[in-house]
Structure 1
Amino acid sequence: MSRLAIQACGLKSAEPVVLMLHGFTGTHQTFRALFPAFKKMRLLLPDLPGHGQTGIGSPEDYPVEAICHQLVAFLDEQEIQKVVVLGYSMGGRIGTAFAATYPDRVAGLVLLGSSPGLKTAAEREARRKSDAALADTIRQDGIRAFTDRWENLSLFASQKQLPNEQQLCIRQERLAQQPEGLARSLEYTGTGAQTSYWERLADFHFPVLLITGELDDKFTQISREMLTLLSNGRHVLIPNAGHAVHLEQSEKTAEIINQWLKNLK
């Protein structure tokens, strides 16, 4: 099994330790706008399988359970007992799986535009088929053609309002990915391939912060439903933002997270 490329920022003695998990087509640099607001914390920043410096690897690296195992192995190596897990979209799904699998290693969970997976086997099978078709398209057409289509999905429409320089930065991060890495991520780490963790939410006794943009109807509804199952949850809706709140309203997102973190101490 290949090792995850994980960057670490901040002093080893800094608290809290925040494990930040990016979304599909991203890297740890996805969170760069939040770094200044988190400068007093220790940040652990993986590039997930198929992305960034971690690269393609082998298929066995990609299942969510395998990623969680690699993450906890890294924490053990670094002698870190607990972390605050922060995940965006795909990274939030992985963070939820990590929290369900290793609850004693989680001080808190922050999910940005994410979900615990699909509830039914039929939904997962349909999603597996669509993800497999998209993976084939990426392999056949290449990264640029895929990026052109991906950034024009309705899910990311609100990002068209970002400054041109920021839009270019997001695009370049996507273009730097390898087609086979993204294809395997869809096939093995995608929503269709992941176990549903909806029934595990009631077991989450640590604090959970759900953040969504007001323009992201789908994940706002999912977060509201999650909130009814969490014993220690909070949902915050950020105005003038879509799916990627950390990109579209980075200062507000950092402010909300920092205030929530103060209550963990």
Structure 2
Amino acid sequence: MTTAVLIHGFSGSPASWRRVEALLDAPSHALAVCGHGGETWPAISRGPASFEAEVDRLGAVVRAEVPPPRGVVGYSLGGRLALGLLVRHPDLFLGAALIGANPGIGGEDARVARRRDDERWARLIEEEGLAAFDSEWSALPLFASQHDLDAGRLAEQRRTRLRHDPAALGAAMRVLGLGAMPDYRPALRDVACPVELIVGGLDTKFEALARQMAETLPNAAVHVVEGAGHNVLLEAPAELARLLNATLGKVDRDNRS
């Protein structure tokens, strides 16, 4: 049976997948992204050297800890890292699901502007602390749909963010942010495995990105989770698990044929 390798988003943790994992038919293995860590999950407190260094580190962890067959599932930052794995380590996975993922930005002016924005976030984390970061991050329009969630889920997300080390998380923002990520758009045509692109129906920006990616990826489908925003795994874990069960089941069937 195909194992789902799960990669969380920025300021999340392996535990961010808890509600989804409980509903998966397949075995799963949630990874901790470098620069993220805390007392209640494997601490990865050292900041990564570069985006692709982190991609390669995660690839080495997968090879060592997760026997094949495997599928990779990544949310937001985790989706960008998962895409990096598909590009740099194409032999690792038989399929993928990218949730709210950006394939990269081109043009030096746009990249410089994004790095400035990432630097502002990194300094906020380091100088004002995790509570200030959580308040400002949660207020982004990207996450507006989360305001309708129950208080328990939002409190759990906040506790996860506050367990990080500010210096490590700030370093992660600098080297894993979109401004530091390679532009993988030209490489999409070389991704051979099937890729499911999952977005929330309220996340119009990332739905547009997913549809653009699907035009270049050789074997891709877009799935829209109605009523959800950017963070589908937090807002609609049952529907996400249903989609992942279908995806991983198809990978299993194709692998047997």
TM-score (norm: length of structure 2): 0.92
Which structure ranks higher in relative contact order (CA pairs < 8 Å, sequence separation ≥ 6)? Answer: 2
Aligned residue identity for 1:56: S
| 2:123 aligned residue | 136
Does residue 67 in structure 1 map to residue 50 in structure 2?
no
Distance in 1 separating the partners of 2:49 and 2:6: 17
Identity %: 31
| 2:231 aligned residue | 244
RMSD: 1.4
By how many angstroms is 1:183 displaced?
0.7
By how many angstroms is 1:89 displaced?
0.2
Alignment of 1:38-117 (within 5 A): 38=24, 40-52=25-37, 53-57=42-46, 59=47, 61-78=48-65, 80-117=67-104
Does residue 120 in structure 1 map to residue 92 in structure 2?
no
Alignment of 1:184-199 (within 5 A): 184-199=171-186
By how many angstroms is 1:42 displaced?
2.6
What secondary structure does 1:25 align onto?
coil
**Aligned to 1:27, which of 5, 10, 13?**
13
Distance in 1 separating the partners of 2:62 and 2:74: 17
| 1:262 aligned residue | 249
| 1:4 aligned residue | none
Aligned residue identity for 1:174: R
By how many angstroms is 1:116 displaced?
1.0
Distance in 1 separating the partners of 2:200 and 2:3: 25
Q: Is the 8 A contact 1:22 1:90 kept in 2?
A: yes
Cα deviation digits, residues 98-124 of structure 1 (max 9, x gap): 100011111111011111111222221
TM-score (norm: length of structure 1): 0.89
Distance in 2 separating the partners of 1:54 and 1:100: 27
**Aligned to 2:210, which of 223, 228, 235?**
223
Distance in 2 separating the partners of 1:76 and 1:114: 23
**Aligned to 2:159, which of 172, 189, 192?**
172
| 2:2 aligned residue | 16
Distance in 1 separating the partners of 2:63 and 2:239: 33
Distance in 1 separating the partners of 2:243 and 2:56: 29
Is the deviation greater in 119-128 or in 216-225? 119-128
Is the deviation greater in 255-264 or in 26-35? 255-264
> Tell me, which stretches of 5 or more residues in structure 2 are unaligned?
253-257
What secondary structure does 1:228 align onto?
helix
What secondary structure does 1:104 align onto?
coil
